[in-house]
Amino acid sequence: MNKNILLCVSGGIAVYKAVALVSKLSQAGANVKVIMTASAQQFVTPLSFQVMSKNDVFYDTFDEKDSHVIAHIDLADWADLVLVAPATANVIGKLANGIADDMLTTTLLATTAPVWLAPAMNVHMYDHPAVKRNIAQLAEDGYQFIEPSEGFLACGYVGKGRLEEPEKITALVQTFFEGEPS
């Protein structure tokens, strides 16, 4: 694939699938860098993503790893595609309203690369009018969505809200780039 994928990980139980997603994308030939929210770090440590991606993991807007660049702008420019997986109701709401209060949302507002969001949340949250409104706004703004699948959710409910499987997301990314000149 030989493309730069910026994976933005927001905080929900589906974060564990994002680790597998980094592995699948890397195996497919992508260069993956990861941004995590503070909430995401409650589920999985940055070290897990660093090991899988072989790249530094970003989570603090003010932690500049390279003094020659501004990290959120550099990452925004570096990406050929930005994936937000899992995309929580919180991050969807922030993005729909132009809120940039952490490394993830600041970078999302700075990028000109295509942005895909893969929502993951409780079935009732996903069906909430505010979440639907925010998704509609983002779709109107040009963001693409990878619909969540249906099944058993971590909260014990059964319904739509599961983060799509890493293999399926990787296949969608590969298909997207197959149509582009190398």
DSSP codes of every residue in 36-87: E-TTGGGTS-HHHHHHHHSS-EE--TT--S-TTS-HHHHHHHH-SEEEEEEE
Return the closest-CA partner of residue 112 out of 142, 148, 147, 140.
Answer: 142
* 145 three-state secondary structure: strand
Neighbours of 50 (CB within 10 A): 14
Which positions are catalytic?
Answer: 155
Return the closest-CA partner of residue 39 out of 99, 102, 119, 95.
Answer: 102
CB contact set of 129 (below 8 Å; sequence gap of 6+): none
Strand runs labelled E in the chain: 4-9, 31-36, 57-58, 81-87, 115-119, 144-145, 149-152, 158-162
73-89: string of b/e by CB count within 10 Å (b at 16+)? Answer: ebbbebbbbbbbbbbbb
